[in-house]
Amino acid sequence: MKFFSKYIFPALYGLLVYFTIRLLHDTDVHQHFWERALYINLVEIACSVVVGYIATYIFQWLFRYYDRRWPVQFCYQGVLRELFILVGVNLVLVNVVFVPMDMALHTDWPAWWISWADVADINMIPTLYAIIYYGVARTSIYLKAYVDNKVLLEKVTNEHLETELKFLKAQYHPHFLFNALNTIYFQMDDDHEGAKRSIEKFSELLRYQLYDQQQQVPVLQEIEYLQTFIELQQIRSTDKLKLKTNFDSKLNGQLVYPLLFLPLVENAFKFVGGDYKMLVEAKAEDGQIEFRVENSIPLINPAPAKAGGIGLENLSRRLNLLYPGKHSLVLEKSEDEFKAELKVRYE
The DSSP string of 205-258 is HHHHHHTS--SSEEHHHHHHHHHHHHHHHHHHS-TT-EEEEEE-TT-SS-EE-T
What burial class does residue 261 get, using C-beta atoms within 10 Å of its C-beta: 0-12 exposed, 13-18 middle, 19+ buried? buried
Q: How many other C-beta atoms lie within 10 A of the C-beta of residue 234?
A: 15
Find how far residue 315's CA is from the centre of its chain.
23
Provide the pLDDT for residue 304: 46
Confidence of residue 234 (pLDDT cuts 50, 70, 90): confident
What is residue 305's DSSP assignment? Answer: G
Q: Mean pLDDT throughout 309-334?
A: 83
Q: What's the rounded Cα separation, in Å, for the pair 255 and 11?
A: 62
Provide the pLDDT for residue 4: 82
Confidence of residue 175 (pLDDT cuts 50, 70, 90): low
More confident residue, 187 or 250: 250
Q: What's the rounded Cα separation, in Å, for the pair 21 and 12?
A: 14
Q: What's the rounded Cα separation, in Å, for the pair 251 and 124?
A: 71
Q: What is this structure's pTM?
A: 0.50
What burial class does residue 170 get, using C-beta atoms within 10 Å of its C-beta: 0-12 exposed, 13-18 middle, 19+ buried? exposed
Question: Per-residue pLDDT for 247 more than 80?
Answer: yes
Residues 55/14, Cβ–Cβ less than 8 Å: yes
| CATH architecture for the domain at 188-345 | 2-Layer Sandwich (3.30)
Q: What's the rounded Cα separation, in Å, for the pair 207 and 188?
A: 22
Question: Per-residue pLDDT for 212 more than 50?
Answer: no
The amino acid present at 46, given as its one-letter code, is A
Confidence of residue 73 (pLDDT cuts 50, 70, 90): low
Provide the pLDDT for residue 166: 59
Q: What's the rounded Cα separation, in Å, for the pair 314 and 266?
A: 13
CATH 3.30.565.10 residue spans of the chain: 188-345
Q: What's the rounded Cα separation, in Å, for the pair 210 and 220?
A: 18
Using alpha carbons, select from 221, 346, 214 the residue that is nearest to residue 289.
346
Angle at which helix 38-69 crosses helix 76-105, to 10 degrees, equals 160
Confidence of residue 286 (pLDDT cuts 50, 70, 90): confident
| CA atoms within 13 A of residue 291's CA, in its CB half-sphere | 23
